[in-house]
Structure formats: C-alpha cells, structure tokens
Amino acid sequence: MHPTKNDLPEATRSKIVERLNQRLADAIDLQTQCKQAHWNVKGPHFIALHELFDKLNDEVVEYVDLLAERVTALGGTAEGTVAAVAKRTSLGEYSLALHDGRAHLEALSGQFAAFGKAARGDIEAAAELRDADTADLFTEISRGVDKSLWFLEAHLQAAR
C-alpha cells in the first residue's frame, strides 16, 4: 500500500483494495465482452443491438474508471492489465462463436447478472468494514448494472 492520509485503517484499506481490484478485473472483462458482442452481432435486429452493446460498453468503462480511481485513492495499485484481468476475473468466458443477436443477449445478460450480484456482495462487505464511500461506489455500480440488465432482458422477454 502507498502512503496516504486517508483515515481508514491500513488493514481496512487493504481489504477494500482487494475487493475493488476483483471487481475491476470483472468490469474490464465485462467491457471487452460488450465490445465482442458489438463487433460481431448479426441478425434482423443488428443495428439496435449493435448500438445497445456499444452503449453498455461505455457504461462499463465508467465503472472501470471509478473502481481503479478508488483503488488508488485508498493507497492501492489498480491492477488493470490484460494479464491481471485474465488471472483475476470471476466472470465466465465469453464464447467467440456467438453471432446471433439473441445468443449475445443471453450471454451478456448472464454476465451482467453475475457482475451485479458480486457488486451487491461488495456493498455489504464495504459497509461491514465501515467504508461508506466504497459501499456507495458499489451501490452506484449495482444500480447501473441492474438498469443494463433490464435493457438486455427486455429484448429477451419479447415474443420470438
């Protein structure tokens, strides 16, 4: 940990930084999965899904920055390299064989659901460690992920 005048105890900051870096890896992984879908989607709803996946990517990029900046604000090192993300991500692997719009919607909705669930667990952990600011950050992310999941699932709930 880097020196800081932040008044959270170093042990607390260290535990929070570990959680933040875990979610950072997941967010970077999720962001690349959104781009994978954006680049490769095919089908009758191409343009709508192409634009949706790009919008979701942009939102997840904001989470990446929030997470990384909180890590460094607490005296940690943001671990955002491809190698670190590949080693740390808890999200499932995204199939490179997907092309159909519905298949991308199914895959991304599962990944957003998993990411949202993890963020909610982080809210509780940050609150237990008495770090209200990080709990608030995770709450913001959770709220945004739930909205993104709604957008994805709305397409899946329509009649085929």
The amino acid occupying position 149 is: L
Phi-psi region of 94 (alpha: psi -120 to 50; beta: other; left: phi over 0): beta
Residue type for position 145: V
Which sequence spans correspond to the domains of the chain? 10-157
Tens digit of each residue's pLDDT (9 = 90 or more) over 5-61: 998 999 999 999 999 999 999 999 999 999 999 999 999 999 999 999 999 999 999
* Virtual torsion, Cα 85, 59, 54, 113, nearest 10 deg: 70
Query: Looking at residue 17, what is its pLDDT?
Result: 98
Tell the CATH topology of 10-157.
Ferritin (1.20.1260)
| pTM of the predicted protein model | 0.95
Going by the DSSP 8-state scheme, the letter that residue 70 receives in this structure is H
